[in-house]
Amino acid sequence: MNPTPQDHEFLTRVLALAQRSRDEGHHPFAAMVVAADGTVISQAMNASSSDRTAHAEMNALRIASQQYSPAKLAGATLYANAEPCAMCSGGTYWSGVGRVVYAMSEASLLELTGSDPENPTLSLPCRTVFAAGQRPTEVIGPLREDEARIAHKDFWHK
């Protein structure tokens, strides 16, 4: 499936949020959960410096899951500036969110982070995680990788 104009609008917003995350001293990641009608259900930045499981996607999914049932979230989209890792893909699946749109692939992220101990990247595409599930999760990405790289420039390997 092809990305929609709404997908690009929310990717622009999540890319700006990732830069804000970096500017506030966190890892440069952000995510949003958006209902099918375009209503933002939740948005979050990365907070893994204090909790290694507090990835932006997990933070946004926790908020969304507290407000809506999996049935309601089935029509929602998770937007992320980077491909959800295995943990975040699992969280997406268990929350019931039915669609994921991301800007930068895990492989491209690994090129930026390398062996930085702050981000020991898992080489497990989100599509592989979702394919192991019993219900479909639509995935669109990577999109706009060059833009997604900006928030990561000179961040890793300090």
Q: Which residues are identified as catalytic?
A: 57
CA quadruple 87, 88, 91, 97: dihedral sign: negative
CB hemisphere CA count around 113 (13 angstroms): 21
